[in-house]
């Protein structure tokens, strides 16, 4: 097993070159942590709510 200092200790960490683990955590330069949530692309920047199609 690789002795990567970024591993959480489970022994199952698979970390890519960008510091992302298969479990979803991200290396922040000091520790593994959950990445920040990205804004919802559907609601971010929309000024009007989406219109549902009416009856045919």
* Three-state secondary structure string covering 13-55: CCECCCCEECCCCEECCCCEECCCCCCCCCCCCCCCCCCCCCC
Is 70 exceeded by the pLDDT of residue 48?
A: no
Q: pTM for the whole thing?
A: 0.48
> Do the domain assignments include residue 49?
no
Count of structural domains, the chain: 1
50 part of a folded domain: no
Residue 13 counted as domain residue: yes
What is each CA distance from 12 to 27, 30, 43, 55, in whole angstroms? 15, 19, 36, 52
Assess if residue 12 is contained within a domain: yes
- 2-33 pLDDT, tens digit per residue, is 577 888 777 788 888 888 888 888 888 888 88
Containing structural domain, residue 22: 1-35
More confident residue, 47 or 30: 30
Q: Label residue 46 by pLDDT band (50, 70, 90).
A: low
Q: Identify whether 46 is part of a domain.
A: no
Report which of residues 50 and 14 the model is more confident about: 14
Residue 1 has pLDDT above 50, yes or no: no
Residue 51 lies in a domain: no
In a domain, 43, yes or no: no
């Amino acid at each position: 097993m690789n002795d990567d200092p970024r591993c959480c200790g489970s022994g199952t960490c698979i970390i890519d070159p960008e510091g992302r683990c298969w479990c979803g955590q991200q290396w922040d330069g000091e520790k593994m942590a959950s990445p920040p949530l990205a804004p919802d692309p559907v609601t971010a920047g929309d000024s009007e709510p989406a219109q549902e199609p009416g009856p045919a």
